[in-house]
Structure 1
Amino acid sequence: MGMLHEFKTFISRGNVVDLAVGVIIGAAFGKIVDSLVGDIVMPIIGRIVGGLDFSNYYIPLNGQGTHLVLAEAKKAGGVIAYGNFITVTVSFVILAFVIFQMVKLVNALRKAEPAPEPAPEVTPEDVLLLREIRDALRK
């Protein structure tokens, strides 16, 4: 029963729940970035460099030509899919840049928060007692 209680305590902590939410949102955000790169950025880059589709760039390792689509070339034998690597690298750079901007924004918001007001000074009990004695002696 002790381990079950410890596990329940561990799971109910805010940090674990925050981490789980972050992982789920990160996975969904990764899909958005993949779509952005694959469906918008890479076609534009391909158009700039002559209408080429980066996803089908590969070097065959079995001696066959590059006339096949990447999926068919993979079935025929090993390939070095450097076009896919370029796409994933661009996706990583975009994702890293967006995360950098988000962290920068959060840090700016944290700095903008006003510092909490200091708590009013509490006079120790012995000082109050000495003041009462002093005031009583003056009378």
Structure 2
Amino acid sequence: MYTQETGGVVIKVEPAFLEAESDPQSGRFVWSYTVVIENTGGGPVQLMEREWRITDAANRTEVVRGEGVVGEQPVIRPGDAFRYTSGAPLRTPSGFMRGAYIFRSEDGRRFSADIPAFALDCPFAATTRH
């Protein structure tokens, strides 16, 4: 599991290779990733936006931006956590992801929390780069 803390928000990510969704012969490798966002601060925070940078082994990077996650902009109270699972396809058997979430605090202040960089490595590839 990969973990990063920023300003009272702890973000944990656990990727998993999805063999059944992947087709190596056609250059399709798919991973799921489960994210847990914990609020260790003193007040509630709302997840407003996300930005992901998904880079494959050929150094191709896709940037994905949008509101919230999985159709939600959750409010996370102190001591609580929000968990979701999503997925990412690559054209190579390895790569990595990193990013940031934009939160809004109770007083309306916006702040960014880093998502830790994490490896996407196919367990069946002869060699991996991450």
Question: If you compute each CA radius of gyration, which structure gives the higher value, 1 or 2?
Answer: 1
TM-score, normalising length from structure 1?
Answer: 0.20
* TM-score, normalization by structure 2: 0.21
Structure with bigger strand share is: 2
